[in-house]
Amino acid sequence: MVDTLRWLALETKYLDRAEAFYEAFLDLDVRSRSESEVTFGAGETDLILRSPGPVPRGGVHTHYAFSIPADEYDSWYDDLDERFDLVEHSFGDSKSLYFYDPDGNCLELGQSAADGTGIAGLFEVVLEVEHLERAVSLYERLGFEVVDRGEDRRRVRLNADSFALELWEPQLGIADARGGLHVDMGVTVESPAAVVDEVRDDVLTIDERDGGLRLRDLDGHYLTLFPASE
pLDDT tens, N- to C-terminus, the chain (230 residues):
799 999 999 999 999 999 999 999 999 999 999 999 999 999 999 999 999 999 999 999 999 999 999 999 999 999 999 999 999 999 989 999 999 999 999 999 999 988 889 999 999 999 999 999 999 999 999 999 998 888 766 989 888 888 999 999 999 999 999 999 999 999 999 999 999 999 999 999 999 988 899 999 999 999 999 998 75
**What are the residues facing 110 on neighbouring strands?**
67, 96
pLDDT, residue 150, reads 80
Contact (CB, 8 A) for 58 and 18: no
In Å, what is the CA distance from 90 to each residue of 60, 114, 163, 174, 213? Answer: 26, 18, 19, 11, 38
CA–CA distance, 35 with 19 (Å, rounded to integer): 12
* Residue ranges per structural domain of the chain: 5-183
- What's the predicted TM-score (pTM) here? 0.94
How many other CB atoms are there within 10 angstroms of residue 92's CB atom?
Answer: 5
pLDDT, residue 90, reads 95
Closest by Cα among 159, 156, 157, 158 to 132: 156
What one-letter code names the amino acid at 20?
A: A
What one-letter code names the amino acid at 210?
A: D
- Residue 89's contacts (CB-CB under 8 Å, 6 or more residues apart) are 95, 96, 97, 98, 174, 175
Domain 5-183: CATH superfamily is 2,3-Dihydroxybiphenyl 1,2-Dioxygenase, domain 1 (3.10.180.10)
CA–CA distance, 210 with 46 (Å, rounded to integer): 15
pLDDT, residue 159, reads 87
Name the strand (E) or helix (H) holding 10.
Answer: strand 5-11
CA–CA distance, 220 with 198 (Å, rounded to integer): 19
**What are the residues facing 63 on neighbouring strands?**
106, 126
